[in-house]
Amino acid sequence: MPDPIKWEDGSLYLLDQRRIPFEVEYLKCTNYQDVAEAIEKMIVRGAPAIGIAAAYGIVLASHGGLPMVKEAVSRLSKTRPTAVNLFWALEKMERAATDFHDATAKDPGLILKDHLLEVAVDIHEEERRIEKLIALHGQSIVPPNCQVLTHCNAGALATGGIGTALGVIRMAQKIGKAIKVYCDETRPLLQGARLSSWELWMDGLDVTVICDDMAAFLMKKGKVDLVIVGADRIASNGDTANKIGTYNLAVLCKYHGIPFYVAAPRSTIDCSIKDGEAVPIEERDPDEVRTVRGVKIFLEDIPAWNPAFDVTPGDLISGIITEAGILKAPYRESIETAMRIDVNFEDAHWADSYLKQGGSEDGGI
């Protein structure tokens, strides 16, 4: 599985996710403007991955000292509004640069760069460890024989680790559960059909792609025991913004009595907002709806609407799987408690041993 984000010889390399699965190509970013454009064009995408890429983008601005770091933070924070991980990572990087600047009294250049690179690598490495814990915690909700439906791509491509929702699924397979995965295609940009199915297929999972409008019938046929999705921003009451179409699935799950889980790191939780109404929902170019992989499917003169995310109310969510455990309703309380927990990363070693079983050196990821 190619790494979606690589730092090599002072440059950032981003796997161009628009071309996956047909071409595997990297874009080289040498300045923060390149990174900002890559996030906007969704060359890199997925909430944690956007945050990690932005952190490296700040490293690329460090040669200009604190003023350029601030300029980069401002530019990168205007790229995509919904995933809170972006703002979380930028805040961390800006604070690191400011503290460093205060401590070394105006000493820009290489040394600041080394310091910021360490912070960005830490963000990246910590995300990997967090996802292993999410995968372990998630096992308690995956039955031994499980037909699971997922939406969009909350996998390795979206995170730089093993993935959140797909991390739980991968781990289930590694510990010997019989897993059958359905991926919603996820119009308009087809992250489910192009990215999730590719990742899981390469890992040897039993995976089937369905069109978004087939989910209800699949559930009615008894072919879905569980739905797991990722998240872009979770409000303090558990309302969850994720890829457009997630809300549809949650409503369908309620009707069919199927558990609906969200898997996400705590960096996706935005305690500053009381509910989902406050989540800024990105609206993208209507041409993404008018076309499929560049081919027009209806007349340009006809209007199209393209909200990239929707919000699933917390009361439709069976649980939120985080590195601090599975949070249950009432979410205000469970989220508040989870945010205070000091997580023991030693447990991530258990995940390593499972992930290595039957896989390659890196656990098949």
Ligand X SMILES: CSC[C@@H](O)[C@@H](O)C(=O)COP(=O)(O)O
Q: Which residues are part of the catalytic machinery? A: 232
Q: Give the interface segment with ligand X, choosing from 46-54, 66-74, 87-95, 105-113 (CB under 6 A).
A: 46-54
- Count CB atoms within 10 A of the CB of residue 41: 14
Applying CB under 6 A, among 4, 46, 138, 192 the residue interacting with ligand X is: 46
Residue 45 touching ligand X (CB under 6 A): yes
Cα distances (Å, whole numbers) of residue 132 to 146, 165, 221, 358: 20, 11, 32, 17
* Beta-carbon-side half-sphere exposure of residue 214 (alpha carbons within 13 Å): 16
Tell me the C-alpha distance between 14 and 43, whole Å: 7
Sequence-distant (6+) residues with CB within 8 A of 10 are: none
The least distance separating ligand X from the CB of residue 74, rounded to whole angstroms, comes to 21
Footprint (CB under 6 A) of ligand X, residues 225-264: 230-232, 242-243
The least distance separating ligand X from the CB of residue 144, rounded to whole angstroms, comes to 25
Applying CB under 6 A, among 79, 147, 173, 191 the residue interacting with ligand X is: 191
Tell me the C-alpha distance between 54 and 199, whole Å: 23
Does residue 110 sit in helix, strand or coil? helix
Applying CB under 6 A, among 29, 60, 97, 308 the residue interacting with ligand X is: 308
Q: Which is nearer to ligand X, 230 or 238 (CB)?
A: 230
The least distance separating ligand X from the CB of residue 109, rounded to whole angstroms, comes to 34
Q: Which is nearer to ligand X, 69 or 166 (CB)?
A: 166
Residue 48 touching ligand X (CB under 6 A): yes
Order across the sheet with 26-29: list the strands.
Answer: 5-8, 11-15, 26-29
Q: Which is nearer to ligand X, 20 or 152 (CB)?
A: 152
Tell me the C-alpha distance between 154 and 85, whole Å: 14
Q: Which is nearer to ligand X, 48 or 363 (CB)?
A: 48
Footprint (CB under 6 A) of ligand X, residues 106-135: none
Tell me the C-alpha distance between 45 and 28, whole Å: 16
Residue 47 touching ligand X (CB under 6 A): yes
The least distance separating ligand X from the CB of residue 14, rounded to whole angstroms, comes to 13
Please answer whether residues 267 and 84 qualify as being in contact, where contact means their C-beta atoms are separated by less than 8 angstroms.
yes
Tell me the C-alpha distance between 265 and 232, whole Å: 10
**Which residue in the shown chain puts its C-beta closest to ligand X?**
230
Q: Which is nearer to ligand X, 17 or 147 (CB)?
A: 17
Residue 273 touching ligand X (CB under 6 A): no
Footprint (CB under 6 A) of ligand X, residues 81-100: 83
Q: Which is nearer to ligand X, 100 or 247 (CB)?
A: 247
- Count CB atoms within 10 A of the CB of residue 44: 26
Footprint (CB under 6 A) of ligand X, residues 139-178: 152, 154, 158-159, 164
Please answer whether residues 126 and 162 qualify as being in contact, where contact means their C-beta atoms are separated by less than 8 angstroms.
no
The least distance separating ligand X from the CB of residue 182, rounded to whole angstroms, comes to 15
First to last CA, the chain: 5
Q: Under the rule (CB under 6 A), what is the footprint of ligand X?
A: 45-48, 83, 152, 154, 158-159, 164, 191, 230-232, 242-243, 308
